Chain A
Amino acid sequence: MAVTAKPLSGPAAGLSERDDPGEHLMLDPRPRGEMNSLVMESMHATSWRFWAVTALLVLVVAVCLVAAWGYLIANGLGVSGANRPSYWEMFLVNTVFWIGIAHAGTFVSALLRVLKVEFRRPFTRAAELMTAFALINVGLSVFMHLGRVWLFYWLIPYPNERGLWPNFHSPLAWDFLAISTYLVASTMYLILPLIPDVAMARDRSTGWRKLLYRILAVGFRGTESEWVHLKTAMNIFAFTVLPIMFTVSTIVSWDFAMASNRPGWSSSIFGPYFVVGAVHSGIGAVVMVLYVIRKTMKSMNYFIRIEHFDALGKLMLVMSILWAYFFFNDYMVPWYGGDAFAKALQKFIESGPLSWILFTVVLCNAVIPWLTLWNKKIRRFPGALFVIGLLINVGMWFERYMIIPLSLTINRMPFTWRIYVPKVEIPLTVGTIALFILLYMVASRLIPLVPVWEVQEGQMMHSLRKVGKAMATSTTEIE
């Protein structure tokens, strides 16, 4: 049992005198039973506002997603805004965008878990849920894009009566495999750490909830050997899901980067650029979700604290700087290269009728985070972080819009240059956003949104020690 002095999220030297140790969740333990009932309460408490918002979202999903998609399928893609040369439209913007959101869960949960970053503990579950629900929207957006969606299963490799495998030369086939692998792995990674919490909930519920939790808890009783197995499985999945996360965004970027003759697309830097962009928007989305659940859900104030917003704010700043580095690189090299069509494209993006998109992207993704997040006061003000997270997501969405329909506008056949105007894509985009929020709201009342065992484990590991006159936090390895 090793004991190391380890700062939480405060200054590097440990806690300074003006810091209140009570503000850290890890140093503010509560009895196990009390904490369990806090989480149970937050699942059961619903106000009329919750139901009103749920009803509204169901309505939006029914109209904007179900009805609009039916209209699209029945009439063909003519009701969308796609044309020559913008054969790819807003559906693929949404696909890449939701993949970005789907990076949040894995990044926050798996990466921070294997790196033993302590501030992750109370919100790993909240982030993993985002991954699962965002991936549902990824799938939906891809299917909306297909011309004959009823034949989508032709993309799946299986022995079939057509005697035909998918074309493994095509980046779209890689894409399909990457996204479905990520969906399976991240769902497993969501379910495994959930087991002890649903077992806790099982012991404290009755009726249909008890039945649901009994199924989800797969008979977990909390014995030593069960914990050992669970920890091993979680460790394996944490290390498995991480490379999958990095590859999924890279492979999605290859859909564009492998189109070797397209100005604006044939870039060798797209792989890491997309990964960074995805994590950038993902963390922004995590901050937004944490703000909302802290505001609206009972007793979440205890689990989600200012220190977490502070730490995520720093992470957002780092990702913003990284993103800007890749953005600059991706802009600089084609500009210097001087290819006539690449120049025409850059001129169109910079000074064409849609140049406001470029400026929105730079403003939301780089300028605003840089101007605000260096400031500790702003980082510790959740409302401000919510707005910044929202702006980052708007900026990242427009960044994908710039890469897909805007870049497609300019090609090597100037006769065909034409600006894309979205049509039925707009309600469908609203519909996917509504579906994401709806699924999250329903899940927040069905499964424990805070991994209680993980918080308790953290609190057991952390203690305050006196070093001379100063107080220092120390971490005990209990594994």
Chain B
Amino acid sequence: MPTNSEQPQAKWGMVIDQDLCTGCQACVTACAMENNISFVGEEDAGYGRSMQWMRIERFWTGSYPEVTTGFQPMLCQQCGEAPCEPVCPVYASVHSESEQINVQVYNRCVGTRYCANNCPYQVREFNWRDYPRPEPLNNQLNPDVTVRRRGVMEKCTFCVQRIRRGEDQAAAEGREVLDGEVLPACAQACPANAITFGQLDDPQSRVSQMARSERGYKQLEDLGTLPRVTYLKGGSSHGGNG
């Protein structure tokens, strides 16, 4: 099976170093701010309706008192062969040819939720209600990102608005996008620098080099979804030099 860096069509990608991740949730917060994600409230969040394009999955290993904590940031893997795309009856879940990411067209979505069922990573979020934005939260909405209403599906876009801005800036200055010039909100906010973002089609980019690390693995790689996110194995289980 080809890996990310071997796929010619792969463009934007991410590497998450689980050795560095502390599970602080700064990425989750930054993502919610950047992308106008609704706050669903305690009751709905407790019932599995929390809306987080980026979530920190926490796992306990062992039994008391020998307990260790594991963190796994989980976001849309921007699959090259995305299971969510073919099942949408109204073409709301489509592949972007120019960015090579999986995009959701909110205005087309009628809310069959088939894409979310078919996503093995369970990273698609549904707007179960119109959640309120009490004052002054309504003033912090990001004008670059659509505000979604009830009944539509949404998910991580790799902060496509930032990618576009970076590309436009580079085009205006008549140059290529520099490595590290485009940063999604989560990577920008991560205090431990566990998230690296960049172009996979450039083998010299930092993200491409890190994706080739021997600690690297993909989530549910055996399904053949060709994820664009590489995780670097963390914890003491690994003896390599990373």
Contact = CB atoms under 8 A, between A and B. Distances in A.
Contacts of A170: 86-89, 114
Question: Chain A: interface secondary structure?
Answer: loop
Contact of B129 (A76, A166, A172, A255): A76
A173 B83 CA distance: 16
Contacts of A86: 48
Contacts of A151: 110
Given A88-B113, A259-B87, A154 B108 contact: yes
A416 interface: yes
Interface stretch (B115-123, B168-176, B209-217, B230-238): B115-123
A229 interface: no
Interface string B105-137: 000111111101110111001111110000000
Contacts of B86: 167, 169-170
A48 B72 CA distance: 66
A412 B83 CA distance: 14
Contacts of B91: 164, 166-167
A413 B123 CA distance: 10
A397 B129 CA distance: 28
Interface string A167-192: 10111110010000000000000000
Contact of A167 (B44, B89, B120, B153): B89
B80 interface: no
A25 to B, nearest CB: 47
Given A167-B86, A411-B120, A413-B120, A77 B111 contact: yes
Contact of A87 (B58, B74, B116, B130): B116
Interface string A123-155: 000000000000000000000011111011011
B223 A77 contact: no
A-side interface size class: 35 or more
Contacts of B125: 84
Contacts of A262: 117-118, 120
Given A84-B49, A147-B152, A155-B110, A78 B117 contact: no
B42 interface: no
B191 to A, nearest CB: 23
A411 B122 contact: yes
B64 interface: no
A415 B113 CA distance: 20
B90 A154 contact: yes
Chain B interface size band reads 35 or more
Interface in A203-217: none
B83 A261 contact: yes
A418 B122 CA distance: 12
A171 B220 CA distance: 24
A232 interface: no
Interface string A255-266: 100111110000
Nearest to A85: B122
A151 B109 CA distance: 9
Given A411-B120, A411-B122, A155 B90 contact: yes
Interface of B: 44, 47-49, 55, 57-59, 72, 74, 83, 86-91, 108-114, 116-118, 120-122, 125-130, 150-153, 220, 223, 225
Interface of A: 75-79, 82-88, 145-149, 151-152, 154-155, 162, 164, 166-167, 169-173, 176, 255, 258-262, 408, 411-413, 415-416, 418
Given A76-B129, A147-B113, A147-B127, 9 more contacts: A77-B128, A148-B110, A164-B90, A261-B118, A261-B225, A262-B118, A413-B57, A413-B74, A416-B122
26 contacts: A75-B129, A76-B130, A77-B128, A78-B128, A84-B48, A84-B49, A87-B116, A87-B117, A88-B117, A147-B110, A147-B153, A148-B152, A154-B108, A154-B110, A162-B108, A164-B90, A167-B86, A167-B90, A170-B114, A261-B83, A262-B118, A411-B120, A412-B121, A412-B220, A413-B74, A415-B58
